[in-house]
Structure formats: structure tokens, C-alpha cells
Amino acid sequence: MEFFNFHTHQFTNQSNVLELVNQYPHEFDASIPFYSIGIHPWHISEERLETDLKIIKEKLQTENCLAIGECGLDKRSEQPFENQIVVFEKQLALAEKYKKPVVIHCVAAFQEVIEIKKKLNISVPMIIHGFSKNSQVANQLIKEGFYISFGKYLLKNPDLKTVFQNVPNDKFLLETDTIEEKIQQVYSLAAEYKELELKELQDIILSNYLRIFKSDLS
């Protein structure tokens, strides 16, 4: 594994990239080698909820399922917020039971996510994907034990440069999410921002991967 793409919706099957492909329970694709699976706050369905949770529970017990998610809270979604909290907490309980990290989608609800982590005493790694906020939010998340993943917004928003530079090297991952750019492009910019050689950055990401996922698939 030369590159680790922490969160993507597209399986590109590059031999030197380990891709953690986002999967939804009702659209599961067994051909994808490594994946996360979860109920996105946009896609909560009351009719399907118990079935979705059952599928997630089954997949979490397999080696190819590296994490649960993306799941989380989104105050800009049309889904009732209280509903989102219930579904998020159910998935966190599964993450704890099966000792899997959590890929978190969070929009305008960082305080609530932090409070839920404390309330449920979550011990597994929790990673905020697609981070786009300021250093104050980043620092608070890191202080509360979260990891932060950067990708789309790092490429598109120069204001994130300083935020990213200030995140400790043992607290971040990189991703592509839904963008067409390859993970290698994200690594290249991240290395430039951190003033590191590409190999140094690869070693940092590998170390973080091993700490979070506790498995060596390289």
C-alpha cells in the first residue's frame, strides 16, 4: 500500500492504493475488496432501518469491512435531527461492539457529535471525513480524541492550508470522497503543505492507518 484513500465513493482498483469504499446497506456490492458500511443521515429510511442495521451488523463481523459509516449528523438535511441522533447512536453502539472505527459525516453539528461521543463513552477511533472548517473546530475535535480526514476541500479551498498545517501528524488521514481527482493528487498537495517528502507523508499515513484500523493490509 503506497496510498490510503480513507473515504471514497468510487472503487478505482489501483494496485498501489488501499481504498476504503463507502457502501450503503441497501446497495451493497460484494465485489469491492475493502469498505465501510453505514446509514448516511441523508438516507435514513424508517421502513428499511432495521434491515439496514442487520446488514451492517453482519458486515462488521467480516475482515473486508474496515469501518462503519459514513454516518453522523447533518443539520442541513431534511431528515428530522432527533431521528438522525437515534440512528447515529445505534451505529456507534455497533462500532463499539465490533471494535470498528467510525467514518463521520458532520454538518453544523460538531458540538452534538462531541457530546454523543462523551455520553456513549465511545472508545473506537472516530474520524471526521471531508473536513472544511477552521483551526478552532479542528483543535477542539483533536482535543476530544477525534481524527480528521482532508480531501476535496483541501484541494479546492486555499484557506484550509493553515488549518491542515496545524493538525498534528498523528491525527489526520486523506481522502477523495466524490471528487474525480485521484488520491495521489491529495497526497501531493498535503506533502507540499506539510513541507514533507512524499515518502515521509506516506509513512505518516501508514502509521495512522495501522493505529486506527489495527490491521496491516499493505
Contact between 204 and 171 (Cβ < 8 Å): no
Alpha-carbon distance of 99 to 122, in angstroms, equals: 10
Alpha-carbon distance of 53 to 8, in angstroms, equals: 21
Q: Is 216 annotated as a binding residue?
A: no
What is the CB neighbour count within 10 angstroms for residue 206?
17
Q: Is 177 annotated as a binding residue?
A: yes
Cell numbers standing for residue 54: 442487520
Q: Is 129 annotated as a binding residue?
A: yes
Instruction: Kindly give, in sequence order, each residue whose CB lies less than 8 Å from that of residue 102, ignoring residues fewer than 6 positions away.
Output: 67, 68, 69, 71, 91, 92, 95, 122, 124, 125, 126, 127
Q: Is 70 annotated as a binding residue?
A: yes
Task: Report whether the peptide linkage leading into residue 2 is cis, meaning its omega lies within 30 degrees of zero.
Answer: no
- Which DSSP state fits 177? B
Q: Which positions make up the binding site?
A: 70, 105, 129, 177
Pick out the residues of the known binding site for a divalent metal cation.
Answer: 70, 105, 129, 177
